[in-house]
């Protein structure tokens, strides 16, 4: 199954105060679709664990025209666009219940050694090249985001609920951290239309997190998240 298609229902615990799916949960569903499709094709996390490896997300971009509401069903289509020596491009398309495209996404994944945490060559996954469809996502590749300067917006520490099975901060937590810098009134008046994230270094339990935020242009916000003064992630949110 070179291209996977999966259906999800937006459950009440995963919507915001406006009854729309939370962006971080939508991205979690998109990444879940990645895992399902990789499992189908023989290179899911459990397959990688057998060779002492796992997948980590390196870059991600998403554009949405509409955020589904509570109890609505969505269909997420995913496929591998390209396979390179050290990373692979995976794309997504989000449909509403009637089959209309409401969003597109693209991502870059790297396989790392569980012990050394260093990248591994994808040629170790025999046959993965056969799954490259060379079909674009429909949106621009994730933007390379510059450093964000200025005074810290917020400082806190990474806690138990931030950590995933790879024993580092889960990818979607960074999204929550960025969106939490906006007030409820701002969320009432703005809708995210584009998100870009560059994941640069792991964040571990107990690390001190510092968030920097700036508005580059009207409605175009840039973020830098540091862990123990080392850049962990840079992000962009466009309303």
Q: Does 192 lie in the same domain as 95?
A: no
* Confidence tier at 166 by pLDDT (50, 70, 90): confident
CATH number, position 59: 3.10.129.10
The answer to the question of residue 73 being in a domain is yes
- 147 lies in some domain: no
When pLDDT is averaged across residues 202-217 and rounded to a whole number, the result is 96
Q: Is residue 106 part of a domain?
A: yes
Question: What pLDDT score does 93 carry?
Answer: 98
Tell whether 138 is covered by a domain.
no
Number of domains in the chain: 2
Same-domain check for residues 92 and 159:
no
- pLDDT for 214 equals 97
* Mean predicted confidence (pLDDT) in 88-100: 98
pTM, two decimal places: 0.94
What is the structure's pLDDT at 1?
A: 77
pLDDT band at 144 (very low <50, low <70, confident <90, very high): very high
Look at residue 165 in the predicted model and tell me its pLDDT: 87
For residue 113, pLDDT over 80 is answered with: yes
Residue 171: domain span: 154-238
Examine the domain organization and report whether 91 and 160 are in the same domain.
no
Percent of the chain with pLDDT strictly greater than 70 = 100
**127 shares its domain with 190:** no
Mean pLDDT for all residues in the chain: 97
Residue 115, pLDDT score: 94
Q: Is residue 143 part of a domain?
A: no
Tokens of 144: 């390379």
Do 10 and 126 share a domain, yes or no?
Answer: yes
* Domain end residue (candidates: 131, 163, 187): 131
What does the pLDDT read at residue 133?
A: 98
> Are the CB atoms for 195 and 237 separated by under 8 Å?
yes
> Does residue 95 sit in helix, strand or coil?
strand
Classify residue 136: in a domain, yes or no. Answer: no
Q: Are residues 174 and 79 in the same domain?
A: no
In a domain, 165, yes or no: yes
**191 and 230 share one domain:** yes
Q: Is residue 61 part of a domain?
A: yes
What's the CA gap between 37 and 218, in Å, rounded? 38
Are 167 and 56 a contacting pair, CB within 8 Å?
A: no
């Amino acid at each position: 199954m070179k291209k996977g298609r999966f259906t999800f229902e937006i459950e009440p615990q995963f919507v915001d105060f406006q009854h729309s799916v939370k962006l971080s949960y939508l991205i979690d569903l998109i990444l879940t679709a990645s895992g399902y499709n990789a499992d189908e094709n023989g290179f899911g996390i459990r397959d990688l664990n057998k060779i002492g490896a796992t997948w980590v997300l390196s870059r991600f971009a998403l554009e949405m025209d509409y955020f589904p509401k509570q109890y609505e069903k969505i269909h997420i289509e995913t496929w591998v666009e390209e396979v390179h020596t050290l990373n692979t491009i995976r794309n997504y398309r989000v449909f509403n219940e009637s089959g209309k495209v409401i969003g597109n996404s693209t991502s870059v994944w790297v396989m790392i050694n569980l012990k050394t945490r260093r990248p591994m060559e994808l040629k170790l996954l025999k046959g993965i090249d056969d799954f490259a469809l060379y079909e674009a996502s429909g949106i621009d590749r994730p933007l390379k985001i510059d450093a964000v300067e200025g005074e810290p917006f917020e400082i806190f520490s990474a806690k138990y609920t931030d950590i995933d099975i790879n024993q580092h901060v889960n990818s979607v937590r960074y999204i929550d951290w960025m969106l939490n810098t906006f007030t409820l009134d701002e969320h009432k008046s703005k809708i995210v239309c584009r998100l870009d994230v560059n994941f640069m270094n792991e964040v571990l339990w107990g690390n001190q997190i510092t968030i920097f935020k700036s508005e580059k242009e009207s409605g175009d916000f840039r973020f830098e998240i540091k862990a123990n003064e080392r850049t962990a992630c840079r992000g962009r949110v466009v309303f």
